[in-house]
Amino acid sequence: NAGVMQNPRHLVRRRGQEARLRCSPMKGHSHVYWYRQLPEEGLKFMVYLQKENIIDESGMPKERFSAEFPKEGPSILRIQQVVRGDSAAYFCASSPGTGGDEQFFGPGTRLTVL
């Protein structure tokens, strides 16, 4: 049973470009979460999605960041016009939504903004 998958694992962008991070949840999981870990800091919640719905985006920066989880395909975290401060590890987690609160994490995407 494949775990949470994320790609790309490493992404390099120049300032002003767009970054697209993808996440496929574990099989049977319908809830997806995005977290960000800045260098030398702890993980911070960004957004929680179910299929076609954003449930909680209280941790998302108000500008340049968006997330979606379409009916078909992976969840996408999009960062427009990246700045150096966006350099971080972005982790996706998934949960089944029923039967427990545990979240399981993917390997992360390390974004470097030059």
Residue 5: is it exposed, middle or buried by C-beta count within 10 angstroms (0-12/13-18/19+)? middle
Among 12, 55, 83, 114, contact with another protein (rule: CB under 8 A): 55
Among 25, 31, 65, 77, contact with another protein (rule: CB under 8 A): 31
Among 1, 53, 98, 101, contact with another protein (rule: CB under 8 A): 101
Q: Least Å distance between CB 71 and another protein? A: 21
Residue 66 binds another protein, judged by CB under 8 A: no
Residue 96 binds another protein, judged by CB under 8 A: no
Residue 53 binds another protein, judged by CB under 8 A: no
Q: Dihedral angle at the C-alpha atoms of 58, 63, 69, 71, nearest 10 degrees? A: 120
Asked if 33 and 93 touch (Cβ cutoff 8 Å), the reply is yes
Residue 69 binds another protein, judged by CB under 8 A: no
Distance CA 66, CA 5 (A): 19
Distance CA 100, CA 44 (A): 21
Binding stretches for another protein (CB under 8 A): 31, 33, 35, 37, 41-45, 48, 55-56, 58-59, 89, 91, 93, 95, 100-108
